[in-house]
Chain A
């Protein structure tokens, strides 16, 4: 069971907007930054969002992140077929002498 909780799957049709939630505690999301990664198995994970809501250069503005309290969200607008992948939230957790924690991952299907 992952420290950060995500829905196992979400789906949408091309052009739609979907959101993926990430729930934590005061020991991780509540006090530290949240990061979002896109992962297609067999390739390297890709950073989509850093420091809660910042986009690295090269990441389309269709991807946006937000954080409130002990929860965070990733929104993907204008859904495209190539967005079909697994999405993970991540961050620092202050327990157990400190550690990086990932959410369990959300499979996005573009129907």
Chain B
């Protein structure tokens, strides 16, 4: 079955960087973009960006574009999120999601990765 499996929770210091992985299975990895969405405590869902595994094209949300790097590794069907210069506001659950044919359409989600930024 189609699924996305994310790496485990992380605790990082303020100012550090984090890398979260999202391994896809059950479909041809290069046919669907992967988006990353997060939800901070007490906040709503926030789109961070997407990447096309087919050609590496990316689109980042304005508020994180200077700190966010999305990549994919087609040999292992894995997408990565790297977020630098972490602040306390980055504490959230991070989800990867498979885009269908229209942006914003996510039928398949990863299980989520909790990132906690500490002092």
A residues near B (Cβ < 8 Å) are 2, 32-33, 35, 37, 39, 41-47, 50-51, 56, 86, 88, 90-92, 96-105
Q: B35 contacts A100, CB within 8 Å?
A: yes
Report if A50-B100 is in contact (Cβ < 8 Å); known contacts: A33-B105, A56-B107.
yes
The reply on B27 being an interface residue by CB < 8 A is: no
Q: Please, which residue of chain B has its CB at the minimum distance from the CB of A86? A: B44
The reply on B11 being an interface residue by CB < 8 A is: no
The reply on B61 being an interface residue by CB < 8 A is: yes
Binary flags per residue of B40-63, CB closer than 8 Å to A gives 1, else 0: 000011110010000000010110
Q: A44 contacts B44, CB within 8 Å?
A: no
B51-95 with Cβ < 8 A to chain A? 59, 61-62, 93, 95
The reply on B12 being an interface residue by CB < 8 A is: no
Q: A102 contacts B59, CB within 8 Å?
A: no
* In the bound complex, CA of A101 to CA of B59 (Å): 13
Q: A102 contacts B47, CB within 8 Å?
A: yes
Which one of A47, A90, A101, A104 contacts B107 once the chains associate, using CB atoms below 8 Å?
Answer: A47
Contacting residues, chain B, for A51 (C-beta < 8 A)? 102, 105
Report if A103-B44 is in contact (Cβ < 8 Å); known contacts: A35-B104, A50-B100, A92-B103.
yes
Binary flags per residue of B94-114, CB closer than 8 Å to A gives 1, else 0: 010100101111110111100
Q: Please, which residue of chain B has its CB at the minimum distance from the CB of A44? A: B109
* In the bound complex, CA of A42 to CA of B106 (Å): 18
Contacting residues, chain A, for B93 (C-beta < 8 A)? 41-42
